[in-house]
């Protein structure tokens, strides 16, 4: 099982959340089995997203999906702040 953490800064959390919630079907179709969203204490536009996948291949494929990249752009993600990490559950 692979967990992907994505941290980024967004222009406006509420606008970002509307886009994020709107791509739930795409997430499930691309292998996301569980997700969670966190906001930094002191900066509500600093967002950490957790996505769980059955495999590392699914996680990497999800990240490379052009639809995901477009959704991030539409949601106001600052590309310079983007940080992605993958972890294997043991």
Phi, psi of 24 (to 5 degrees): -60, -40
This model's pTM is above 0.75? yes
The pLDDT tens digits for 46-71 are 999 999 999 999 999 999 999 999 99
pLDDT at 90 over 90: no
Provide the pLDDT for residue 29.
Answer: 93
Per-position DSSP letters for 10-41, written without gaps between them: BS-HHHHHHHHHHTHHHHHHTT--EEEEEEET
Residue 48: both structure tokens together = 């950490």
Domains parsed from the chain with CATH numbers: 2-88 (3.30.70.100)
| Mean pLDDT on 63-81 | 93
Helix (H) or strand (E) holding 60: helix 56-64
Provide the pLDDT for residue 89.
Answer: 87
The pLDDT tens digits for 13-59 are 999 999 999 999 999 999 999 999 999 999 999 999 999 999 999 99
């Amino acid at each position: 099982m692979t967990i992907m953490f994505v941290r980024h800064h967004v222009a406006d959390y509420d606008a970002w959340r509307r886009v994020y919630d709107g791509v739930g079907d795409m997430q499930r179709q691309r292998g996301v089995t569980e997700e969670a969203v966190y906001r930094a204490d002191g900066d509500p536009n600093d967002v950490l997203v957790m996505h769980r996948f059955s495999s590392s291949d699914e996680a990497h494929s999800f990240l490379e999906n052009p639809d995901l990249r477009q959704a991030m752009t539409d949601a106001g993600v600052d590309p310079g702040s983007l940080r992605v990490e993958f972890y294997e559950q043991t």
